[in-house]
A and B are shown apart, each in its own frame.
Chain A
């Protein structure tokens, strides 16, 4: 049987990916350029018995998503810069309380209202450090409509597996772009469901590290009575200020991600094997970068592309290897230089690291990347 094919907008693909992953709850608040995700889900979720609610603001949306997830439902919210800023306190809540959920950020220019209809990639550090306190983060950065679908599915998988919020960031260009998409058949992409507790209601502890780095989360209304709080807590979920317990919990919550980078990481490389210069780019910028690589190769310059698909945790190991291999890394991003700091940290001075930045609401074009490459070589 021929696969279902469609011409779809990135935001619509995101909504379709969520449904494929088994998402049953969406709480949101309208904001350009993410609104189509909500509009699509308001149609498709009730069809599969799911729930869609437009909340009074983005904080309420995030709260409703965490509440719904605690009943066992895969839950999603979608927003853009100003909305992500409002959600930050509760993203931290989902981190410390370890509640799976997915947050879509269709990036526009900023700060503040910035450029609502223009693309940006300036929320990438916020995705890691936006909420206060120490915590780990997982952020995915798809660069095509097809990939938005599959990365949305993967975001739910990672959220459920690692019991934490996962962010998917794509810029306005990819969110609003229409491309051909081939819908995966059911079962074709892996879909991970939340692990059920092995303990019965009488002995269950929601943060019992003897059950592993990621203790299973029971659902409200399934026979388990337990407590959830944003305070530092002991393994039974109740607040504690005991130094050793606080320390162990904080570290476990970061380690559960950092010890599993190999599982969470995802990158694409193009002509990097013999590359003397690597363009380090993600999202829509990586599309320009790929074009630039081809043009540079035609001119005899050995260029390659490194494209992170998982942005956080940062691909430190592979970036470091490339820095040893090549003469220069050119980081292209639609901001004034954010990921370049991480690239420099990983490169440890083993190659030249240069940046090509843009914040005027226009995409980074291949010509400017090529010019930068020639400057640094």
Chain B
């Protein structure tokens, strides 16, 4: 039997705004399956995003959804989670939203290790505004503001998250749909800051400028260059050139979670 996505989607909110072939829809389906697997009560689940094509995702889902301002999802979500720790909090958004304008909130949410799951859709570009380069656009690539090729080096988002203190960090791609929900499930179940980076595609503003003839081409590229972390252990640095590691990249269950820490502050203040 086909999977029933409808029950998680708000009545009347489809069709979505995404272009044909956009990877964000694949991620949304993965998120829906993951929320289902975890048996989340959507009345007690907040899904928080910033601004961008990826950030339009929460509007389609039947939950407490908060579409904020560009880059600010993690900070709004921190307020929600601090105020109501019993809620499940999920952030989602794009590479530009999360790591350029929102980079500061992103790293500090990781540092605090506040219990939320951030699904970051990295399509290597600012899709919504028409394809300007983001901190994740590969060096040399063409964007609407890099007519001579991108001079900027990139952020490795997962490494950034690990360095900043997130305690569950995983990466996969839109070409590995079943791994998306598997990792999001682990992220939701992990008590602390979980970052799930999903490499996906923007055929409209990135693909066509960078010699990808089709969406299939872009998917093939994601598939060909994804290296599961275990397999990577047996590969040389040379072999790993231009590849991206996938799977659970980091998992720490020791670091205290932020809301639990603050509960201790309350106890101390109240003289307990």
Contact = CB atoms under 8 A, between A and B. Distances in A.
B139 interface: no
B83 A25 contact: yes
Interface string B36-73: 00000011101010010000001100111111110010
A221 B43 contact: yes
Interface stretch (B74-82, B176-184, B196-204): B74-82
Interface residues of A, number: 44
Contact of B84 (A61, A75, A221, A229): A221
Contact of B80 (A220, A224, A231): A220
A64 to B, nearest CB: 3
Contacts of B270: 46-47, 49
Interface stretch (B129-137, B249-257, B261-269): B261-269
Contact of A228 (B13, B44, B65): B65
A72 B107 CA distance: 27
Nearest to B86: A221
Nearest to B67: A229
Interface in A56-99: 56-57, 59-61, 63-73, 75, 89-90, 93
Contacts of A238: 13, 59
Interface residues of B, number: 40
A30 B46 CA distance: 29
A5 interface: no
Contacts of A69: 79
B269 A64 contact: no
Contacts of A70: 66, 79-80
Chain A interface, >50% SS class: mixed
B67 A53 contact: no
A75 B79 contact: yes
Given A90-B72, A229-B67, A223 B82 contact: no
B104 interface: yes
A178 interface: no
B169 to A, nearest CB: 20
B78 A225 contact: no
Interface of A: 24-25, 27, 43, 46-47, 49, 51, 53, 55-57, 59-61, 63-73, 75, 89-90, 93, 201, 220-221, 223-231, 238-239
12 contacts: A55-B78, A59-B75, A63-B68, A64-B75, A64-B76, A66-B68, A66-B76, A224-B43, A225-B43, A227-B58, A227-B65, A227-B67
Interface of B: 10, 13, 42-44, 46, 48, 51, 58-59, 62-69, 72, 75-80, 82-84, 86-87, 104-105, 107-108, 262, 265-266, 268-270
